[in-house]
Every structure is written in C-alpha cells, then in structure tokens.
Structure 1
Amino acid sequence: MLRPRVPTNPLPTVVIHPAPEAPVEKHAGPPMTLSQHSPAPAAPASGGVHLSAGATVAAIGAGTVAVLVIGAVLVGMFLAISITAGSLAIVALVARSLLNSAHHQR
C-alpha cells in the first residue's frame, strides 16, 4: 500500500579513499580450534507476577489513591495559577486606571 521510496544518488557525494593496508603479523602459537557450545537453557515459562486476591485489591487501592492525590495536587496548582493570573489582571486594571486619571488631571 504505502511503500517508502529510498532516493538513489547516481554520483557519490564523498570520495572514500581506502586506508593503506598494515602488514599482518603471523601468530606463532598453536592453531586455533573452533568449539561447539551447548545452547543456553530456556527460561522458565512463568507468566509474570502472580498476586493473591488481597495483594491485587491493595495494589488497585494504592493506584487509586495515587491517582487521586496527584489529581488533587494538579488541580490545586491550577487554581493557584488562575488566582494569581486574576489578581495580576485586577492589579493591571487598577494601575492603568490610576495612571490614566493622573495623566488626565494635568
């Protein structure tokens, strides 16, 4: 259906020069042999973590409490930011009003 198309470049953009070959030293030791290793033992087929009924209820309860606490903290932060923004808006209006009235009285 949708197949990516890789662009082909007919001319290389960079010329690569092969590195000069270094002389290879002969190893004077005994010849190396290949050895077959046995495969690693298979992992047991346990299906993850097993929880008892009480542990499952406790985990669900702890998760619910964590979500509620984090939600309350985030809502509190949002309220603090919105109250601060509203206060700043009121201060800006009062300051503008004072500056305009002082300017018009001259």
Structure 2
Amino acid sequence: MFTPKYPKPGTTPAVPTPVTPTPLPSAPVSNRPAVQLTPGSTLALVAGGGALVLVVGAVLVSMLLAVAITAASVAVCAVVVRSILKEHKA
C-alpha cells in the first residue's frame, strides 16, 4: 500500500513547447481631470491630519496613564499585603 509506484522505463512525459506571450492591450486613457488642490482643500487636509494626530496622541497618553495608575495601585496593594503578612507572622 505504501510502496512507491515507479513509471515504466521509456515512458518519459513530453516536454511542453514554449508559448510566446501575446502583448496585452494598453489601458484606456481617462478623460477625468487630475485632482487639483485649492488652498482651502489643502488647509482642510492639513487640519484633518493635525486633528488625527492629536486624537491618536491623546488615546495613547491616556492608555499609558491607565497602565501607570494600575501599576501604582498594584504596588500599594503589594505593600499592604506584605505588611499584613509580616504582622501575622510575628
């Protein structure tokens, strides 16, 4: 069942002949005008990008602050538990 099956001698597969690729048609030229940025739209893009940076920064700082507060509270709890256990042993 698991023994390999070898092909009979002299039965090699035929080598495929190379096919020349056909050239692809070029993409159609668009009739739409290019995007032009006016001073107002440039200002809106800059303001939007600045607002996005401020929002992402505020979220990251608040997450860092949450981690710092959690670490401080865990440290306080560890000190309290340590002092309780120390008093209990004595």
Please confirm whether the aligned pair reaches a TM-score higher than 0.5, indicating the same fold. yes
1:71 counterpart (51, 57, 61) = 57
Matched residues, number? 73
CA distance in 2 between partners of 1:98 and 1:38 (Å): 81
- Indicate whether 1:20 and 2:15 are aligned: no
Structure 2, gaps ≥5 residues long: 1-10
CA distance in 1 between partners of 2:57 and 2:27 (Å): 47
**CA RMSD between the two structures:** 3.3
- Indicate whether 1:95 and 2:81 are aligned: yes
Deviating above 2 A after TM superposition, structure 1's stretches of 4 or more consecutive aligned residues are 36-44
- Indicate whether 1:51 and 2:37 are aligned: yes
TM-score, normalised by the number of residues in structure 2: 0.65
- Match of 2:37, SS? coil
* CA pair 87-41 structure 1, distance change in 2 beyond 3 A: closer
Q: Point out the structure with the larger helix share.
A: 2
Shift of 1:21: 1.5
Identity %: 40
TM-score, normalised by the number of residues in structure 1: 0.56
Structure 1, gaps ≥5 residues long: 1-18, 25-33
